[in-house]
Amino acid sequence: MQDEIQRQILGAILLVLRPIVRAMLKVGVGYREFSELAKTAFVETATKDYGLRGRPTNISRVAVMTGLTRKEVRRIRTKNDAKKSTVVMKTTPASQVLHRWYTDEEFLTESGSPKSLYFDGDGVTFTYLVRKYAGDVPPGAMRTELNR
């Protein structure tokens, strides 16, 4: 019975997540940011809603309930205590490539504008930029994403 309820809830969550993920991808928010938000939501909810005798839930209990390590729970709680509002920085490979194209002197003209880059070849190219700042993302896939 419990397994069936859990399966149904997870199915409903997946239905709700799809349009949210679509909106996130449209504005350049990737899985890493989503994952951090999800962890924060789990920790905040377990802390506030499952404490005993009106007190916040302790770190060990939050870790057991959420499946996160105590170290991760402590990190999230500390971050949230320091900020009180979560600001997520875009760290997708595409945003990283664009940021570096506009800020790394190697990719700027003498006047400080981003250089026009050939896709491939010798020297400073788009392929070089992507390999330098986007890890294992293929340059062609990055070009397609940035042109989207």
Whether the model pTM is above 0.75 = no
Structure tokens at 74: 């402590």
Dihedral angle over CA of 117, 138, 94, 79, nearest 10: -140
pLDDT per residue as tens digits for the range 16-42: 999 999 888 877 788 989 999 999 999
> Rounded mean pLDDT of 72-90?
72
> Rounded mean pLDDT of 64-93?
79
DSSP state of 114: B
Orientation of helix 2-26 relative to helix 31-49, angle to 10°: 130
Residue 135: which residues within 8 A CB-CB, separation 6 or more?
Answer: 93
Look at residue 9 and tell me whether its pLDDT is greater than 50.
yes
